[in-house]
Each structure stands twice: as C-alpha cells, then as structure tokens.
Amino acid sequence: MGYPTAKRFLDIAQISSDLRHSDLPSVLELGNQTLTIKEGDLPYLEIFFDRYGAANSFKKYKDMVGHKVHSADIYRDAGWNFSSLDLNGANNSLKIDLNIWPNNDLLSLANNYDLILNFGTTEHVSNQLNAFAILHYLCRTNGVILHHIPIVHYSSHAMNLITPKFIQKLIEWNCYEIIECRADHSLINSMITFHHNDSFGFMANFADFVECSTLAAIGYIVVQKKVNSAFVPPLDVAVEECAELRLLRRYITYYRLSSCNETADERLNKFRNRQPVSQRTKARPYRGRRAYLDTELVGPITRERPENKHSFAISLGGSAIQRQSTGAALRRFLNRTASAWRR
C-alpha cells in the first residue's frame, strides 16, 4: 500500500529501539514500498536521519517534495542493513515467491532478519499459509514481524483478508509474543476505490452491500518470534489428543526446515502451556453496536419512494461523522430492516 507519511520510519525505528536491537538492525520489507514526499514529511525524515547520524543524507530529500522515492533508499541512506522482497526484482529486491513451498530460495536467508515489515503485501498472495511460513523462517529468534494488512473490506484491493481469529491462532500455535495488535479503521467513502469497482458487476448485490457499509479496517499486528521452531498453520479444530498429534506431525514435517528439530509432542506441550491471546491484552469488551442510523433524520420508513431525499447520519458515540443523500440501496436496506422488526 506504500507509506502514507514519513512518520512510519520513526514508528519502525521505535520498535527496533524498544526491542534493544542494534542501532542498525537487519530489516526485510515485503514489496518495493514507496513514499511520495510531502512538505509535512520533511520534519519526520530529518529526525529519522539525525537519529542514526546521517544528517547529510537528509539534504537530498529536502528538494524532493512531490517526488516518489523507495523506502529502501531512505533506510539505506540512514545506514540500515535493509533488504526488500519482490518478485519483480526492482531496486535490488530479493526474488522470492511467497506462494511456493518448499522454497529453495529461502534456505540461505533463514533466521537472517531482526525485523520483517509486511505493509500491505501478503493480502495479494494466493497461498496465505506458505506466505506466513516463509516470514516465520526469515525472522530470527527474538526478531519481530510487523503486519499491516486488511481485515475488513478492501475487496477491490486485496485477494485475501485475514480475520482476528486467524491472527489469534497464528500467534498461539507459533508461540509468538504480542507487542501490539489493533484495528485501524477508516470510512469506506474516503478510499472507495479500495473497496469497490465496476468490474464486480458479476456479483449481485455487492454494490448494495458496499453502499450500506460504513467502516473498513486494517490490522496492525506486531509479534515477536520467541522460539526457533517449525511453523504451524493456524489450527481451528476441536479434536482429541491423538488427532492433534497427527495433525501437528503432518504440518511440522511439511513446513520444517533442517534447522528445526522440534517434535510434535514438544510443540503440543508448548501450546497447552501457552497463555491464551485473550489474556495477554486489555482491549475493551464489546458493548453493543456504536454505529446507528439517526431515524429522525431519515424520517418514516415506507416502501414507497419518498418525494424528497432525506439525509441520514452515521453516528459514533452520538457524533455524526458522515451525511449523505439516501440512495436506493439505503432505502432497500431500511425497508428490509423494518420488515424484520415488524415480524
């Protein structure tokens, strides 16, 4: 998805610092990410370069406002040991296909990186399990993997969405430690081309669904790899112990690298002794839906087309954050809801 602002460089620098990495960590970023430099990005870039004693490198970027630059160039100019991974091989990136397993291109790079950055890349990969397995092995023990990937909507941008449950199982079965995990949401209308385009006409009612939707969300997931063990796909099964062991043996055998000697029994014991993800965080509980239609603005719900268009508001905590004309899709939605209430 690219870097929205240069503040992201400071965020990454802080993660590296908090984990007591070396001043110049070994970093791998998925995709040839870019930043279009704006005037407001310059203070962030100046701080970033100053932090690593590379103030002279900042000078060339002062004259590049309005230009698109590769994030790799910025990291390298700051002295970081930085690599990028992209099948196109552009900007000296590593050519590793995240769809493929076993992956011979991975062998020489396993356990090689302190920090792996996945800013909107894996959602474009068909085989999600292979992609997450490769990232697992590229990361060193006690290294960090950062994902910033769609979890709600983004239908015209992403080939795959992962769910919070997928994230939960991925963390638990692979003994990751949560550093930060949150949902960053935005109004769909602010980036509608990421969520819908006219080529989706083959799917009936999809446009209605998007028009009646309010928010999209991107998951911001930062985890630390605590043990050098074989990758296990997120398992969502309720089976007896012997069946669990059979599944683990199958997956560990399939995804194991030669450097991993862990047995299925050892992994199962780690999983049983884990602290569930739900107990590691302090996110507030669900307290009922906060987004609602203000019926006073909409007016009475009828099956007839109203003579005048009414306005409606989507409110969060009582504050209207969006107003627009009520279209045909919204009227159909309200009528269906009213019919359900009457029944």
Q: What CATH number has the domain bearing residue 46?
A: 3.40.50.150
* Residue 153, number of CB atoms within 10 A of its CB: 24
What is the rounded distance in angstroms from the CA atom of residue 172 to the CA atom of residue 166? 10
Q: Of 186, 212, 229, which residue is a domain's last?
A: 229
Q: What are phi and psi of 263, to 5 degrees?
A: -95, 165
pLDDT at 223: 96
Q: Of 191, 212, 229, which residue is a domain's last?
A: 229
Specify the range with the lowest mean pLDDT, choosing from 156-170, 188-202, 280-294, 301-315.
Answer: 301-315
**pLDDT of 131 higher than 90:** yes
Domain of 121 in residue numbering reads as: 7-229
Beta bridge partners of 225: 176
Query: Is residue 237 included in any domain, yes or no?
Result: no
Query: Is residue 50 included in any domain, yes or no?
Result: yes
Co-location of 213 and 322 in the same domain: no
pLDDT at 114: 93
Sign of CA dihedral 82, 88, 91, 92: positive
Query: Is residue 240 included in any domain, yes or no?
Result: no
Co-location of 207 and 298 in the same domain: no
Average pLDDT for 186-209: 87
pLDDT at 329: 52
Number of domains in the chain: 2
Co-location of 166 and 50 in the same domain: yes
Residues with Cβ within 8 Å of 212's Cβ and at least 6 positions away in sequence, in order, are 329, 330, 333
Q: Tens digits of per-residue pLDDT, 144-178?
A: 999 999 999 998 899 999 999 999 999 988 989 99
Let me know: does 32 contact 88? Beta carbons within 8 Å: yes
pLDDT band at 301 (very low <50, low <70, confident <90, very high): very low
**pLDDT of 220 higher than 70:** yes
Co-location of 223 and 299 in the same domain: no
Co-location of 295 and 223 in the same domain: no
Co-location of 314 and 225 in the same domain: no
pLDDT at 90: 79
Co-location of 71 and 220 in the same domain: yes
Query: Is residue 274 included in any domain, yes or no?
Result: no
Element (H, E) at 26: strand 26-30
Average pLDDT for 77-85: 93
pLDDT band at 335 (very low <50, low <70, confident <90, very high): low
pLDDT at 187: 87
What is the rounded distance in angstroms from the CA atom of residue 284 to the CA atom of residue 230? 33
pLDDT at 80: 93
Considering the chain, what is the average pLDDT of its residues? Answer: 81
Co-location of 180 and 69 in the same domain: yes
